[in-house]
Amino acid sequence: MLAKAEAKYVRVSARKVRLVLDLVKGRTVEEAVSILENVNKRAGQPVRKVIDSAFANLNFNKQEKFVAKDVVISNIRAEGGPYLMRYRAATMGRATPVRHRTAHILVELDKAPKTAKKAESK
């Protein structure tokens, strides 16, 4: 792991965030950002922000400068956060609970493995 970033208390359920995370898991930062720009999910924006933050942390904390196509997302996950409990009026004077779910998003970046080019035999 070279760098990591975390977003806490994001107002999207962790289950919905995981749908977006499956699209970018194991890809380079450049590919992941281009996918997240075009995904039609509300969780796409906070996930992109966390990936950008982790990449900025990588370039700030390390001595060498990295390019987005040379860095891969090694670990990305979403965990459930606390509920925001609210109440809604129900019939016969009752109140029913409404749980607004939150998520914690964690991203870890690593160097892309070098792919050895095979020598062409003639």
pLDDT of residue 28: 94
- Over the chain, what is the mean pLDDT? 91
pLDDT of residue 65: 86
What count of other Cβ atoms lies within 10 Å of the Cβ of residue 104?
Answer: 17
pLDDT of residue 101: 96
3-state secondary structure 69-108: HHEEEEEEEEEECCCEEEEEECHHHCEEEEEECCEEEEEE
Rounded to two decimals, the pTM is: 0.86
pLDDT of residue 118: 55
List, in order of start, the domains of the chain with CATH numbers: 3-111 (3.90.470.10)
pLDDT of residue 110: 92
pLDDT of residue 121: 55
| Mean pLDDT score, 37-42 | 95
Query: With contact defined as beta carbons under 8 Å apart, do 51 and 107 qualify?
Result: yes
SS3 (DSSP) at 8: strand
pLDDT of residue 120: 59
- Alpha-carbon distance 60 to 62, whole Å? 6
Q: What is the pLDDT of residues 78-118, one digit of tens each?
A: 999 999 999 999 999 999 999 999 999 999 999 888 765 55
Calculate the alpha carbon distances from 64 to 50, 54, 55, 76 in Å: 21, 15, 13, 23
57 has pLDDT over 80: yes
Calculate the alpha carbon distances from 25 to 20, 38, 49, 78 in Å: 9, 16, 15, 12
